[in-house]
Structure 1
Amino acid sequence: MEILEETDLCFPQLLNSSCRKPIRPHFETMLIYILLSFISLLTAALNLLVIISISHFKQLQTPTNLLLLSLAVSDFFVGLFMFFQIMLIDGCWFLGDLMCTLYNVLDYIITSASVGTMVLISVDRYVAICDPLHYSTKITVRGVALCTCLCWVCSVLYNSLMMKANLKQPGRYNSCIGQCVIVIDHVAGLVDLFLSFIGPVIVIIVLYMRVFVVAVSQARAIRSHIAAVTIQCSVKVTAKKSELKAAGTLGVVIVVFLLCLCPYFCVTLTGQDTLLDASSAAFVICLFYFNSCLNPLIYTFFYPWFRKSVRLIVTLQILKPDSCKISIL
């Protein structure tokens, strides 16, 4: 009979019922600890800057930026919840069954809200590029705020309903003490996979393919100066350039989003998660969470207004009276 050492158990005092820690080199464990901790802190800090920027400066409170605000809120919570994922590196959960269930439910809610926000961003860019004359009437700050709130409310209701069995009896599927497991019905899991990933990805790809085709044709028209005849036309061309630039930037955000989340959902789709070793599983999870850190970095690279607002925040100039009216754009 194999004799378990106390260091191999999550709860050494519960020899017969405690979960065992996974076998992993100490160097690899420490590397994952450091990497996830750094990503967690950076993700929370950068997205907090985005939240403060858009919430504080009135000039930034446009329909598109409200969607970025929603995305930043979800990414900020991802950064905070990443600390819970760090706890699971050793394969042990020490916060109890109820906290385990709540953590997973909130994680699902945030992920669903992020995906929903990405769909709304695609719709926003589709209208801005493909129907620019009616953009200001179709896409308003109030309308975007309402759609964003509905996205979050639907995400909460949907995931709470899907996790109802786990919420009623937390820890019901744990096989040992120190485990954090939730189980979703097979049919419900397939429905969730379609609603939370496959369906939204199809919508995003179709909309952005259309945006790309129209954007290319408009870019050619701008370069050939077909529309630049009068001052009025020149203003329209400038407006088109700004919309095209925004579409390109948000296109990068969406592509990065898909690249980071596809490995995780593909594993779920194929059901091959049991075939992954500890290192591969850790990489997929790190990539999944790292997406939330990349979005503010993309804004830093592409958006001058974000760099300017960060300088104002870091230098505490936002504490001055009427700082919310400072020209950022």
Structure 2
Amino acid sequence: MEVEDGAELCFPQFPNTSCKKPLSPWPQTLLIHIVCYSISLITVTLNLLIFISISHFRQLHTPTNILLLSLAVSDFLVGLVLMPGEVLRKTSCWFLGDFVCFLYNYLSIIITASSIGDIVLISVDRYVAICDPLHYNTRITMNRVKLSVCLCWLYSASYSFLFVKDDLTQPGRYNSCYGECLLVIDYFTGLIDLVLFFIVPVTVIVALYLRVFAVAVFQARAMRSHITAVTLQLSVTPKAKKSELKAARTLGVLVVVFLMCLCPYYCVSLAGDSFINVSSSYYFLFVWQFNSCLNPVIYAFLYPWFRKGVKLIVTLQILQPGSRETNML
């Protein structure tokens, strides 16, 4: 690879094959580092608080919160691994080698896929809670939810390997020079990803939540109209608890925000490009990280137990004997 005279190289010992260092003005690079690492720190901290709250307080050990815990783990990894990695790729040379590049790309796809799977599971959980509340406790059990979460992560790991298997056998095959870390997805694989991890999940999520909100609206009208208990019992849809309706609205906000952040990524696939150079876009650097940071903020505004949990954690009251049995609801 020919380089311009005077250009700074990532690997000066290989002048013909080394990439050039990014030449962005230092104020711009400094601003990117400050903003991105600040968001990364906030993302890690907030999602760690969610993890500690749900794990520590026994009253929060519910099927719905286990799903939120899995989503928080994904968001935590985004802030801890993906965000610093993307800053490194965009503002500096990749000095970590081709194998670490493979692991980084593999982990980034696993986290993305598992997050989508978690949102689907959350939608199913709310659907059963609102549309079939009489059978919720028998159908949605802790063991079933834990198994579903494990299968979600296992499937994400297996599915994601299809995107990076060539990089494992031929590390750095798409790099044009030393100092790059690229992930290139061919059109056919991108089309499969578009269908399996965008069109199908989004269709399921939207269909379930349309049904959930239709039931919620019906029950709200029924309560405002003072329909008798006998009439409600004769209705096709059983009455859900007020707390379940509130949880559905809260998680509905979470799902809408998630879909708003997910759609821009797949617009590249819908554009019909023959190759998708994932690492050439700023998607992971801004949109996805913003969603991972925003989720805990949604909890803070809409979940009283999260605000109470943060207070107990920050004041170190969780270190006191018997704190696991604290009333959080």
Which residue of structure 2 lines up, in the alignment, with residue 73 of structure 1?
Answer: 73
Which residue of structure 1 lines up, in the alignment, with residue 169 of structure 2?
Answer: 168
User: Letter of the aligned partner of 2:254 in structure 1?
Assistant: V
Residues 205 and 4 from structure 1, CA distance in 2 versus in 1: closer, same or farther, beyond 3 angstroms? farther
**TM-score between both structures, scaled by the size of structure 1:** 0.90
Which piece of structure 1 moves more, 43-52 or 154-163? Answer: 154-163
User: Letter of the aligned partner of 2:53 in structure 1?
Assistant: S
d(CA) in 1 for partners of 2:3, 2:79 = 40
d(CA) in 2 for partners of 1:209, 1:55 = 31
d(CA) in 1 for partners of 2:210, 2:25 = 45
Would you say the 8 A contact 1:46–1:296 is kept in 2?
A: yes
Correspondence 1:128 to 2:93: no
User: Letter of the aligned partner of 1:169 in structure 2?
Assistant: Q
Would you say the 8 A contact 1:33–1:89 is kept in 2?
A: no
Which residue of structure 2 lines up, in the alignment, with residue 42 of structure 1?
Answer: 42
Structure 1 outlier segments of 4+, above 4 Å: 271-276
Gaps of 5+ in 2: none
Residues 157 and 255 from structure 1, CA distance in 2 versus in 1: closer, same or farther, beyond 3 angstroms? same
d(CA) in 2 for partners of 1:272, 1:200 = 22
Residues 275 and 77 from structure 1, CA distance in 2 versus in 1: closer, same or farther, beyond 3 angstroms? closer
SS of the residue corresponding to residue 184 of structure 1 reads strand
d(CA) in 2 for partners of 1:55, 1:41 = 21
Gaps of 5+ in 1: none
Query: What are the superposed Cα offsets for residues 207-266 of structure 1, whole Å, 9 maximum, x if unpaired?
Result: 11111111111111122332469xx9xxx97x6211111000000001110111211221
Which residue of structure 1 lines up, in the alignment, with residue 322 of structure 2?
Answer: 322
Would you say the 8 A contact 2:119–2:255 is kept in 1?
A: yes
**TM-score between both structures, scaled by the size of structure 2:** 0.90
Which residue of structure 2 lines up, in the alignment, with residue 291 of structure 1?
Answer: 291
Query: What are the superposed Cα offsets for residues 106-150 of structure 1, whole Å, 9 maximum, x if unpaired?
Result: 110011000000000011111111111111111111111111110
Query: What are the superposed Cα offsets for residues 64-97 of structure 1, whole Å, 9 maximum, x if unpaired?
Result: 0000000001110011111111101225211110
SS of the residue corresponding to residue 248 of structure 1 reads helix
SS of the residue corresponding to residue 11 of structure 2 reads coil
Q: Measure how far apart 1:268 and its partner are.
A: 3.4
Which residue of structure 1 lines up, in the alignment, with residue 189 of structure 2?
Answer: 188
Which residue of structure 2 lines up, in the alignment, with residue 87 of structure 1?
Answer: 88
Q: Measure how far apart 1:194 and its partner are.
A: 1.4
Which piece of structure 1 moves more, 218-227 or 82-91? Answer: 218-227
Q: Identity of paired residues, percent?
A: 61
Q: Measure how far apart 1:58 and its partner are.
A: 0.8
d(CA) in 2 for partners of 1:170, 1:61 = 43
Correspondence 1:178 to 2:182: no
Which residue of structure 2 lines up, in the alignment, with residue 311 of structure 1?
Answer: 311
Aligned pairs (5 A) from 1:4-83: 4-7=5-8, 9-81=9-81, 82-83=83-84
Residues 16 and 99 from structure 1, CA distance in 2 versus in 1: closer, same or farther, beyond 3 angstroms? same
Q: What is the aligned length? A: 320
Q: Measure how far apart 1:167 and its partner are.
A: 1.5
Q: Measure how far apart 1:169 and its partner are.
A: 2.2
Which residue of structure 1 lines up, in the alignment, with residue 154 of structure 2?
Answer: 153
User: Letter of the aligned partner of 1:191 in structure 2?
Assistant: I
d(CA) in 2 for partners of 1:284, 1:266 = 14
Query: What are the superposed Cα offsets for residues 294-329 of structure 1, whole Å, 9 maximum, x if unpaired?
Result: 110000000000000111111111111221111111
Correspondence 1:242 to 2:243: yes
d(CA) in 2 for partners of 1:4, 1:209 = 61
